[in-house]
Structure 1
Amino acid sequence: MTLIAEAPVGTRPRPRPSDVRRRRQRAETRAGYAFLAPWLIGFVVLTAGPMLTSLYLSFTNYNLFAPPKWIGLDNFRLLFKDPNYLQAWKVTGTYVIFGTPLKLAAALGVAMLLNTAHRGKGFYRSSFYAPSLIGASVSIAIVWKAMFIDHGIVDRIQVFFGFPEGGWVGDPSRTMPMLIMLTIWQFGAPMVIFLAGLKQIPNELYEAASVDGAGPGRKFLKITLPMLSPVIFFNLLLETIHAFQVFASAFIISNGTGGPARSTLFYTLYLYFRGFQDFRMGYASAMAWVLVVVVGILTLIFFRSSKFWVHYSGEGK
């Protein structure tokens, strides 16, 4: 005869360990979502919501004062018939193609110098990084413009060395070099990243190369660049995306006109004109989404091509 033990009257059965674990996991999940809630709300309200709204508006005729009217792909068709739109792509493309590599070259060069410095290292790092903290501000763009106007400091220096008198701001052939010099001057952020990457390269590689008779140029090409390629890839991708987004410096230097002769009519500046001056929000939304697609395609190309020139430690290449 089998006796079955019964729980004392008035006591609850002891929960199984699996039930305890499930309850604990549910509690942790709820706590996690509670901590994520501010970010999720901000993402939906401030990022995802406006993006979906602009996607809808890109297919409409909307001027801010009347309800949007669906017109399909007409905005996208008009883009490539607009000479100012094509000029905006030309200006932006020139800025990206020349400004980004020169900025990264300056950042890498200074990072290599700082990597070998012994005295005043902290002071020099801070000094070179400072322009990146303030370089994108409106005040610095105003100062930069004041330096390159007629009879400004740059004009006086070039006259002193025998070059023709004349400011750069009003010369269509000089405005792009002036803006490229401004972006090069802001090389502090990629410089710091390059410097961190250089610190990770084992010094034994350079010592072994010296024993084999390799010079500085060969060490740079065979050791520094391959070992630094992941950092170069990161900086190249980040700075390319940033270059497509330039707005404040072009707006200040051109007085919000994109001049002279449309030489500073950057893509984002022309998007601002169409959206907030002409109140063609549907057209501006279409421009924004074309820019998103172009940047996305370039990002995909960078990632696909990285397998041919980016080398990570431990790959055995």
Structure 2
Amino acid sequence: MATVARTRRRNPLARRERPPRTASQRRDTRAALVFISPWIVGFLVFTAWPLLYSAYLSFTDYDVINDPSFVGWENYRQLFEDPKIARSLGNTLFYTMVQVPLYVLVSLGVAVLLNQAGRAAGFFRTAFYLPNMTPPVAVGVMLLLVFNGQNGLINEALGWFGITGPNWTTDGAWVKPSIILMSLWSVGGSVIILLAALRDVPPDLYDAARVDGAGRWHRFRHITVPMISGALFFVTIVNTIAAFQTFTETYTAFWGAGYKNEAALFYVIYLFQQAFEFLNMGYASAMAWVLFVIVLAITLVQLKVSKRFVYLEGEQR
């Protein structure tokens, strides 16, 4: 016993022996496992198994009809030789780098306005969130109606000011901007998150800043943004992942409608084509895993950078 005591004094992090679990604790554990068992089964059947099986398929030649045949790294080698991979990945990167910052800035701006709306905030909060309930296919159809180069709503509005609008849905230079602008239709979810973060900022900080003579911009920059940086980071990382997986609205508006504009060929759309139009399931699985690695790498970089800019309440700096 004296030796054990001396060891613990030398190493305060030494693992302490846990007391044996009581019958009540074991019973509670079993009950918890029973309650979460539907989720566990669903995760294993619909997430873990498809994930592992797609990893296997990425090393095979599989057309759904015939049995998979092992081809090693051939699918991954073809990825570097396929010109459409570079084009679709470039379109996706451009969309992500422009859409995510714009999406976050618009969400933050709307949240700041709603935070000052007083009693009407509840109505406007609901109004801004309702577009999130619109089915993505309907949003894709609406994109064609709103951004139609001949008689679309955007060009009609520009015409009021004597501006001739571009052919948004047919001109390759304007296709991605139209998709980016249409994505702002669903900022409501991020607005709600940021609004909740704004409501949680202590008013005392603003009062102290006013006493010190800080203006509105300085209060926003040095108090609001740091205090809601956790919510901003969450919105950024979630929308970055979503941007890399954008599919339904763009596919409905362009490829599903027969436009087939290469400027709208995003990575997941090309993956879908390989899997379900050309039945190259092995190649599509390899594409999916490459996308997974890219998103994982970007997410890890964001997590690393966030340590310098994200403030977490109660965290020691």
Same fold (TM over 0.5): yes
Q: Which moved more, 1:231-240 or 1:34-43?
A: 34-43
> Which amino acid in the other structure matches residue 223 of structure 1?
I
Q: CA RMSD in A?
A: 2.0
Q: How does 1:183-222 map to 2 (within 5 A)?
A: 183-222=183-222
Q: How does 1:55-134 map to 2 (within 5 A)?
A: 55-134=55-134
Larger Rg: 1
Q: Is the 8 A contact 1:171 1:260 kept in 2?
A: no
Q: Is the 8 A contact 1:151 1:166 kept in 2?
A: no
Q: Do structure 1's residue 242 and structure 2's residue 219 form an aligned pair?
A: no
Q: Is the 8 A contact 1:209 1:219 kept in 2?
A: yes
Residue 306 to residue 201, structure 1, CA distance change in 2 (3 Å): same
CA distance in 2, matches of 1:24, 1:119: 49
Q: Is the 8 A contact 1:147 1:153 kept in 2?
A: yes
Residue 125 to residue 60, structure 1, CA distance change in 2 (3 Å): same
> Which amino acid in the other structure matches residue 186 of structure 2?
Q
- SS in structure 1 opposite 2:190? helix
Deviations 1:48-106 (A, max 9, x none): 11111100000001111111111111111111111111111111111110001101101
CA distance in 2, matches of 1:276, 1:30: 43
Residue 36 to residue 109, structure 1, CA distance change in 2 (3 Å): same
Q: Is the 8 A contact 2:166 2:174 kept in 1?
A: no
Q: Which moved more, 1:306-315 or 1:186-195?
A: 306-315
Q: Which residue in the other structure is 1:35 paired with?
A: 35
> Which amino acid in the other structure matches residue 95 of structure 2?
Y
Residue 75 to residue 309, structure 1, CA distance change in 2 (3 Å): same
Q: Do structure 1's residue 144 and structure 2's residue 143 form an aligned pair?
A: yes
Residue 280 to residue 243, structure 1, CA distance change in 2 (3 Å): same
CA distance in 2, matches of 1:230, 1:270: 34
> Which amino acid in the other structure matches residue 140 of structure 2?
A
CA distance in 2, matches of 1:88, 1:165: 26
CA distance in 1, matches of 2:257, 2:57: 25
CA distance in 1, matches of 2:179, 2:68: 37
Q: Which residue in the other structure is 1:12 paired with?
A: none
> Which amino acid in the other structure matches residue 203 of structure 1?
P
> Which amino acid in the other structure matches residue 252 of structure 2?
I
Q: Which residue in the other structure is 2:273 paired with?
A: 273
Residue 258 to residue 221, structure 1, CA distance change in 2 (3 Å): farther
TM-score between the two structures when normalised by the length of structure 2: 0.89
CA distance in 2, matches of 1:315, 1:29: 31
| Structure 1 residue 168 displacement after superposition | 1.3
Q: Is the 8 A contact 1:230 1:310 kept in 2?
A: yes
Q: How does 1:275-294 map to 2 (within 5 A)?
A: 275-294=275-294
> Which amino acid in the other structure matches residue 158 of structure 1?
L
CA distance in 2, matches of 1:257, 1:131: 22
CA distance in 2, matches of 1:301, 1:256: 35
Deviations 1:171-193 (A, max 9, x none): 11111111111112211111111
Q: How does 1:16-55 map to 2 (within 5 A)?
A: 22-55=22-55
Q: Which residue in the other structure is 1:13 paired with?
A: none
> Which amino acid in the other structure matches residue 140 of structure 1?
V
Aligned positions, number? 298
